[in-house]
Amino acid sequence: MNLEWFDRVTGELQDSLNSICEKYDENGSMLIERGAKHPRIDFFTESGEEDRDYFCTLFFDPHNEEFYIHSVDPEFGQVSKVVLEDIEDIVDAVHESFHEFMEEDFDEVEVFDEDEDALYAGEDEVFYEELNVSWETPEVTAYYKEDEAEVTYQFGITQDTGEGVIRRTNRIFTEDDDMIKDETVLSFGKEEAGTLIAMVASHMDAIEPIEYLE
């Protein structure tokens, strides 16, 4: 496969981004994955020694020798391919994604294990009543291994604000037949939903199987 154009662009891209935005120069980083079928460049910020928050993925189609990104329609959630003709278009797309990411404020709330001091007196349903969540789906099992672990997801809408809510429940079964349960709640607006879908879709190949629970 011909990667000449890919190598030329990646060679110039970091300097171009740093020179266009001081804030990106201070916070933004990129990682080149040259060995994939469609080589890509992942852009991210680092919030800790090992914590990376990805905000954009730039793909390269070696057959057509073109760069592209995935774009999501915030109203309908449809993913489309946007071809970037030259390095100026690439820099503009990454720069715009960076500032959109920096301005986002995801509201993530964790509910602690039942044996610990939990939020809202340790009663999950009281917590969700406080949020006034109307659950639109039942708990959907995403992962299950008998007598070991189970992960479920549930989608709801807050009645007060109309935000979407994703509840992830992780249940681990011990050798003593006890169950350790923890829940994570992510709330988001309609405009954020498209960004979430695009981020997951762009990094499916990099996500490890859920066997880590073992």
Residue 125 predicted with pLDDT over 70: no
Residue 30 predicted with pLDDT over 50: yes
C-alpha 179/C-alpha 125 separation (Å) is 18
- What are all long-range contacts of 31-38, with beta carbons under 8 Å and residues at least 24 apart? 34/3, 34/6, 36/205, 38/62
Residue 50 predicted with pLDDT over 80: no
Q: Measured between alpha carbons, how far apart are the two ends of the chain, in Å?
A: 39
Query: Which pTM was predicted?
Result: 0.48
For residue 99, count other CB atoms closer than 10 A to its CB.
13
Helix 4-20 and helix 87-103, axial crossing angle in degrees, nearest 10: 50
- Average confidence (pLDDT) over 41-48: 79
For residue 160, with 0-12 CB atoms within 10 Å meaning exposed, 13-18 middle and 19 or more buried, which class applies? exposed
C-alpha 89/C-alpha 28 separation (Å) is 18
More confident position, 209 or 133: 133
Residue 213 predicted with pLDDT over 50: no
Contact 91, 84 (CB under 8 A): no
Which pLDDT score is estimated for 31?
Answer: 85
User: What residue ranges do the domains of the chain occupy?
Assistant: 4-103, 107-193
Dump pLDDT digits (tens) for 133-147: 888 888 888 888 877
Residue 91 predicted with pLDDT over 70: yes
Which amino acid does the sequence have at 176? D
More confident position, 175 or 114: 175
C-alpha 165/C-alpha 125 separation (Å) is 14
Which pLDDT score is estimated for 113?
Answer: 43
Dump pLDDT digits (tens) for 147-202: 788 889 998 888 878 888 898 888 888 777 777 888 888 888 887 888 888 888 88
